[in-house]
């Protein structure tokens, strides 16, 4: 028996029997085809038609863009069935059947593929339509639309060439007319002009044979599956390329037959807010593409209730029925032809994050779905929209350029280019946006006071992006079209120059950079959201912590439901206020102190008494400055830790000892270097020589992390003293504290043993001094492949592991996350890599090291606590992988905690998610 490539809308039972499930039907017939077939089965007024399967599309590509054997014959047979049902004949000049040819993939891809309407029209059938309807203008308009759409969609002629002709006719005689004002004679003239354009651009005469038209249109819809729009949409939304699109061929019904006809689109609930109202737009005397193309301003459905009350009531009844049947918001298309309603589409409606939560909660309260279904239905990433301000969707925007949506939310501010200027402007009450070629840790003070950040370079895990997400501020990174001119305090993009002090807006959810002050909509933490997250936690079994470096971050983290801190980066505390001065004093004096200490050891070994005396005299001042700076920093950090412990009362706090290389704390600009020299009472040359001494060719793999602590043990001891002094102070106040001290960049057991011994010795000393018997743990960050491979050895010393997957990805894949933005997007686009590994955990490579480390570590220490603290801790697919791997918790920026909570709950429920 020949393979079945074509299913009539009335054959949905056969499709379901063959595929075994409704999901299988949607895979075979696409979402649109399955929807119209299901409505046909339910007895709704659906124009007859048939669907060419997604299998046919895939076979079309496998056959070198040739229809599979037998498909065209099945199309002709299905067309005969439609002719019998309608009493019309395809290509017949007296009673012609016209059809639409539409795409329809399994997952909704609105606007990404192609549609052709009014197919079957030619000079003869146009006259037949005019006679049948007694409306020559309608026939002329339908033909004009068909030639225009067919020329653009099927023959590839630029759409603006047709629009220029339309505009020319609408503006004739200085008039400003609508397309509905054009006469039948003018429409005929326009159609002829369109045909001339097609002959000139496509090199062929416009096809008059309806069967040729149909064959070409089906090929064009198949072709649109691999069009640039569709490919990009699938890449962004993680839809597989091998699904294919179905083609739906359906009897045309006409909303442009006069003022008793209309066409519209609607949602069964408001897709922006989730409000339980029928929401949509329509146009009288129009066809479907007019509503979305902006040719005329559509009207709200309330007007339809007044203009066509019977059709409206019937449509409202069907909308309610369909939502109850599918148990989800539906996206509907309809046409009213001379007062009679026809349903053309039902599919699961796209919605905002806010709407998704409200609809899920309302559906539970209405008894449509269970709490479990509600938790599985909401996409974790959609929650981002509830947590940040957004640009008003109704606003008209002047978009300057688009970069990477590095941190969600939107903000407006006056442009500044220097972090010190940002501080000064903000102090004077200005809202500022910091624009940099790229940010560095020394920019932190300017970032802290800015509304948002914009960088010309850097990726989704660049410094700017990571800091922005941690602060909950919008960021657009890697906006490659902008050129930053620090000297003249301006940036330019696409021929426009923006100077310091001028207003821009950035949308970190879309990557758009907008001229002027865009109107914003505040995020709202509604009661629905709180109730929904309670349900989430009922099903979640894996912990979720937050990366937080300040008491404010910790407070936000708790508000969003974090169950502790999975990463407190102590170096971030060093950049605020005048603290950086103490850090720089520590570095400058510490280098001298360590150099003289080494020389003293050499003199003592040589028993050179004169040299010993000279060095002993020289070492006193740098030692005093070095230890004095450490004492100052210890006091500051103690105060910070007390604030964080108070916010996290009873929850664990993982504190990472200093990690970055020392050169990151020193200024790069000569003016700042001069200021530093003045403050420290040394020469500019001394400062510059120190910076040169600390320079590294590859600092990421250089003198940082535990390597710093081993060479400068006083720094580790200072930080441990601050942590445990804060713990003791909090215990005295009745605040429960669980500090976990994490040693970074460990690649060998001996490194961890060295640093852990200093931490533990300091802890015991503080216990004895304070009389407080606090609990604590010492562990390590697994961010080097060697550490994962030797996890069984390292677990002898480590009481916990925390995977730093940002650096583990870099060291495993040999990629710099700050530089890989130059090629990673192309890698993803060309399917060399499935995802950007700095955004979505590389489960095959990095994930294998993670699994291995967990298994080896727990062989040595069965109770070993294991978590993840890289940016992947807030990415839904990575969170689900962590659950499957047996991690105790994930940790992410405070504003991603709800996302991680939902992803963890879905993982616990088996991740049986519904539609995309």
CA proximity to 138, closest of 32, 262, 286:
286
User: Which helix H or strand E contains 649, and what residues bound it?
Assistant: none
Distance in angstroms (rounded) separating the CA atoms of residues 385 and 6: 41
Q: Which position has the token pair 């700050």? A: 818
Distance in angstroms (rounded) separating the CA atoms of residues 870 and 890: 9
Contacts of 196 (CB under 8 A, 6+ apart): none
Distance in angstroms (rounded) separating the CA atoms of residues 267 and 278: 6
User: Which helix H or strand E contains 530, and what residues bound it?
Assistant: helix 527-539
The pair of three-digit structure tokens given for residue 105, joined into one six-digit string: 């993939």
SS3 512: strand
511 Ramachandran zone, left/alpha/beta (phi>0; psi -120 to 50): left
Distance in angstroms (rounded) separating the CA atoms of residues 81 and 8: 8
Contact criterion met (CB below 8 Å) for 84 and 9: no
Distance in angstroms (rounded) separating the CA atoms of residues 228 and 223: 10
Any catalytic annotation for residue 869?
A: yes
- E runs forming strands in 55-193: 89-90, 96-97, 99-105, 115-119
The burial class, CB within 10 Å (0-12 / 13-18 / 19+), for 17 is exposed
The pair of three-digit structure tokens given for residue 509, joined into one six-digit string: 């959810």
User: Which helix H or strand E contains 468, and what residues bound it?
Assistant: helix 463-471
DSSP string, 444-457: HHHHHH-SEEEESS
Distance in angstroms (rounded) separating the CA atoms of residues 800 and 793: 13
SS3 665: helix
Alpha-carbon torsion angle 106, 112, 113, 116, nearest 10: 120
Q: How far is CA 828 from CA 91, 228, 441, 475, 817, in A?
A: 46, 14, 29, 22, 15
Q: What angle do CA 615, 621, 623 make, to 5 degrees?
A: 85
Distance in angstroms (rounded) separating the CA atoms of residues 666 and 680: 13
User: Which helix H or strand E contains 250, and what residues bound it?
Assistant: strand 245-251
Contact criterion met (CB below 8 Å) for 110 and 350: yes
Contact criterion met (CB below 8 Å) for 326 and 346: yes
Catalytic-labelled residue, pool 568, 706, 730, 869: 869
Contacts of 755 (CB under 8 A, 6+ apart): 657, 706, 709, 710, 716, 743, 746
Between helices 684-694 and 670-680, what is the axis angle to 10°?
110
Contacts of 449 (CB under 8 A, 6+ apart): 422, 423, 426, 427, 432
Catalytic-labelled residue, pool 463, 572, 663, 872: 463
Contact criterion met (CB below 8 Å) for 45 and 1: no
Q: What angle do CA 196, 197, 199 make, to 5 degrees?
A: 65
The pair of three-digit structure tokens given for residue 717, joined into one six-digit string: 């001891």
Contacts of 365 (CB under 8 A, 6+ apart): none
The pair of three-digit structure tokens given for residue 80, joined into one six-digit string: 């005969």
The pair of three-digit structure tokens given for residue 25, joined into one six-digit string: 């039907």
SS3 114: coil
Cross-strand bridge partners of residue 130: none
Return the exposure string of 423-455: e unless at least 16 CB atoms fall within 10 Å of the residue's CB, then b: bebbeeebbbbbbbebbebbbbbbbbbbbbbbb
Any catalytic annotation for residue 668?
A: no
SS3 268: coil
Residues with a known catalytic role = 463, 869
């Amino acid at each position: 028996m020949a393979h079945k490539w074509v299913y009539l809308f009335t054959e949905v039972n056969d499709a379901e029997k063959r595929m075994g499930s409704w999901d299988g039907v949607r895979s075979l017939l696409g979402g649109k085809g399955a929807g119209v077939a299901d409505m046909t089965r339910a007895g709704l007024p659906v124009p007859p038609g048939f669907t060419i399967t997604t299998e046919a599309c895939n076979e079309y590509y496998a056959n070198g863009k040739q229809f599979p054997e037998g498909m065209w014959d099945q199309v002709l047979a299905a067309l005969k069935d439609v002719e019998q049902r309608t009493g019309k004949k395809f290509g017949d000049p007296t009673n012609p059947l016209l059809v639409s040819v539409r795409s329809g993939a399994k997952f909704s891809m609105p606007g990404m593929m192609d549609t052709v309407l009014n197919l079957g029209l030619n000079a003869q059938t146009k006259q037949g339509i005019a006679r049948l309807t007694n409306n020559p203008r309608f026939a002329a308009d339908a033909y004009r639309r068909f030639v225009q759409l067919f020329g653009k969609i099927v023959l590839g002629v630029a759409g603006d060439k047709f629009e220029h002709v339309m505009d020319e006719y609408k503006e004739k005689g200085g008039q400003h007319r609508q397309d509905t004002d054009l006469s039948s004679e003018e429409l005929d003239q326009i159609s002829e002009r369109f045909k001339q354009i097609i002959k000139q651009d496509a090199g062929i005469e416009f096809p008059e044979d309806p069967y040729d038209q149909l064959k070409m249109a089906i090929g064009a819809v198949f072709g649109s599956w691999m069009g640039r729009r569709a490919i990009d949409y699938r890449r962004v939304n993680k839809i597989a390329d091998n699904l294919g699109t179905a083609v739906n061929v359906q009897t045309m019904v006409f909303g442009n037959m006069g003022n008793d006809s209309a066409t519209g689109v609607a949602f069964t609930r408001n897709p922006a807010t989730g409000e339980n109202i029928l929401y949509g737009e329509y146009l009288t005397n129009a066809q479907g593409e007019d509503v979305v193309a902006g040719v005329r301003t559509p009207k709200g459905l309330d007007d339809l209730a007044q203009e066509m009350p019977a059709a409206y009531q019937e449509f409202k009844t069907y909308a309610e029925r369909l939502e109850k049947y599918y148990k989800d918001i539906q996206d509907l298309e309809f046409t009213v032809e001379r007062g009679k309603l026809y349903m053309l589409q039902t599919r699961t409606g796209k919605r905002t994050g806010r709407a998704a939560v409200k609809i899920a909660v309302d559906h539970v309260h209405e008894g449509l779905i269970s709490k479990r279904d509600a938790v599985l239905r909401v996409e974790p990433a959609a929650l981002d929209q509830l947590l940040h301000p957004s640009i008003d969707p109704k606003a008209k925007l002047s978009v300057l350029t688009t970069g990477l949506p590095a941190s969600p939310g939107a903000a407006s501010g006056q442009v500044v280019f220097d972090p010190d200027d940002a501080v000064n402007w903000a102090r004077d009450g200005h809202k500022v946006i910091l624009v940099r070629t790229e940010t560095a840790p020394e920019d932190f003070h300017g970032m802290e006071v800015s509304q948002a950040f914009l960088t010309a370079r850097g990726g989704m895990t660049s410094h700017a992006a990571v800091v922005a997400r941690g602060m909950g501020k919008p960021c657009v990174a890697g906006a490659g079209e902008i050129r930053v001119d620090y000297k003249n305090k301006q940036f330019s993009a696409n021929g426009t120059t923006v100077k310091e002090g001028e207003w821009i807006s950035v949308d970190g959810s879309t990557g758009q950079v907008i001229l002027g002050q865009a109107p914003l909509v505040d995020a709202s933490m509604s009661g629905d959201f709180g109730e929904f997250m309670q349900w989430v936690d009922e099903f979640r079994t894996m912990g979720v912590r937050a990366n937080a470096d300040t008491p404010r971050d910790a407070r936000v983290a708790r508000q969003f439901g974090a169950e502790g801190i999975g990463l407190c980066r102590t170096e971030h505390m060093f950049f605020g206020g005048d603290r950086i001065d103490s850090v720089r004093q520590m570095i400058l004096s510490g280098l001298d102190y360590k150099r003289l200490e080494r020389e003293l050891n050499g003199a003592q070994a040589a028993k050179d008494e004169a040299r010993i005396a000279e060095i002993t005299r020289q070492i006193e001042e740098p030692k005093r400055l070095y230890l004095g700076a450490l004492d100052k920093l210890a006091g500051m950090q103690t105060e910070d830790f007390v604030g964080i412990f108070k916010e996290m009362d009873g929850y664990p706090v993982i504190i990472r000892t200093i990690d970055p290389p020392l050169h990151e704390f020193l200024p790069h600009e000569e003016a700042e270097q001069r200021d530093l020299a003045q403050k420290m009472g040394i020469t500019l040359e001394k400062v510059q020589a120190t910076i040169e001494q600390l320079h590294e060719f590859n600092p990421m793999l250089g003198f940082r992390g535990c390597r710093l602590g081993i060479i400068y043990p006083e720094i580790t001891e200072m930080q441990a003293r601050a942590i445990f002094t804060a713990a003791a102070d909090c215990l005295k106040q009745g605040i429960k504290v669980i500090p976990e001290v994490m040693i970074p960049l460990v690649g060998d057991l001996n490194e961890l043993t060295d640093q852990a011994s200093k931490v533990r010795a300091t802890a015991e000393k503080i216990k004895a001094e304070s009389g407080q018997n606090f609990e604590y743990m010492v562990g390590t960050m697994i961010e080097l492949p060697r550490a994962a491979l030797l996890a069984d050895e390292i677990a002898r010393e480590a009481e916990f592991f925390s995977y730093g997957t940002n650096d583990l990805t870099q060291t495993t894949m040999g990629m710099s996350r700050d530089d890989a933005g130059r090629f990673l997007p192309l890698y993803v686009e060309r399917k060399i890599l499935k995802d950007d590994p700095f955004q979505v955990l590389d489960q095959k490579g990095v994930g294998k090291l993670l699994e291995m480390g967990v298994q080896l570590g727990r062989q040595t220490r069965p109770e070993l606590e294991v978590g993840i603290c890289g940016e992947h801790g807030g990415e839904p697919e990575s969170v689900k992988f962590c659950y499957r791997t047996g991690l105790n918790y994930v940790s992410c920026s405070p504003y991603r905690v709800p996302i991680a909570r939902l992803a963890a709950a879905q993982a616990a429920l088996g991740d049986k998610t519904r539609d995309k």
